[in-house]
């Protein structure tokens, strides 16, 4: 049977691969169309996400919706997910072993959606493509991985805490329509492009 977002979500719903399953109310697999051009990846579910089973439904989610509206999109038009699908207790950061345990689900979601642009929201999703990087240094700078661009951005929650960060998030978001157009103009990626985020030699866009 071919993989699908529904199938992945069903598997997540019964997953016990890491200790986070013990405290969850609901799993939060992520949501959005399988044909999304953009995939937004945050860190992990918080209280409201755990209660509802939906990603980004609290204050951060409202800000994210504003950001999407600012570029002519709605949350229904993009896929929104997280690196871990179950809420860490007390909203602590997800641990490395929990992210590793959950990675295969995110891998499959990315493969199924095949987005043109992946936006990492916060440092935990950024670390997958930009290990050791500092978000304050690289936010908003797209980098090519195979047939797509990955754009690191601050987590919306950081924008709610700091007006300066909020301004930077808005500027970073405003680039997205042009970046999608750019990826659409590429055609087929060269065979030797680095698709694997673990690759040593991702292709750097010369434009940025």
Which value, in Å, is the radius of gyration of the alpha carbons in the chain?
A: 16
Tell me if 106 contacts ligand SF4 by CB under 6 A: no
Size of the site for ligand SF4 (CB under 6 A): 14
Q: Which stretch binds ligand SF4 (CB under 6 A): 51-59, 84-92, 128-136, 160-168?
A: 84-92
Q: Which stretch binds ligand SF4 (CB under 6 A): 1-9, 13-21, 52-60, 199-207?
A: 13-21
Tell me if 9 contacts ligand SF4 by CB under 6 A: no
Q: Which is nearer to ligand SF4, 14 or 206 (CB)?
A: 14
> Could you say which of 85, 116, 128, 148 contacts ligand SF4 (CB under 6 A)?
85
> Could you say which of 5, 12, 106, 117 contacts ligand SF4 (CB under 6 A)?
12
Tell me if 108 contacts ligand SF4 by CB under 6 A: no
> Could you say which of 80, 86, 117, 169 contacts ligand SF4 (CB under 6 A)?
86
Summarize as ranges the residues that interact with ligand SF4 (CB under 6 A): 12, 15-18, 20-21, 27, 84-86, 98, 101-102
């Amino acid at each position: 049977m071919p993989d699908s977002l529904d199938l992945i979500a069903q598997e997540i719903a019964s997953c016990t691969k890491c200790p986070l399953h013990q405290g969850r109310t609901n799993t939060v697999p992520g949501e959005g169309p399988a044909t999304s051009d953009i995939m937004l990846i945050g860190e992990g579910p918080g209280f409201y996400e755990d209660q509802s089973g939906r990603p980004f439904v609290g204050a951060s989610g409202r800000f994210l919706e504003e950001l999407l509206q600012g570029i002519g999109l709605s949350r229904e038009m993009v896929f929104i997910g997280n690196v871990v699908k179950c809420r860490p207790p007390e909203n602590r950061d997800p641990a490395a072993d929990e992210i590793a345990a959950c990675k295969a689900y995110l891998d499959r979601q990315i493969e199924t959606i095949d987005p043109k642009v992946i936006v990492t929201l916060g440092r935990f999703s950024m670390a997958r493509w930009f290990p050791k990087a500092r978000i304050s240094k690289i936010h908003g700078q797209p980098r090519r991985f195979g047939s797509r661009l990955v754009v690191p951005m601050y987590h919306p929650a950081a924008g709610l805490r700091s007006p300066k960060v909020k301004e930077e998030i808005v500027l970073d978001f405003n680039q997205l329509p042009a970046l999608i157009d750019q990826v659409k103009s590429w055609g087929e990626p060269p065979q030797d492009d680095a698709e694997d985020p673990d690759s040593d030699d991702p292709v750097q866009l010369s434009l940025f």
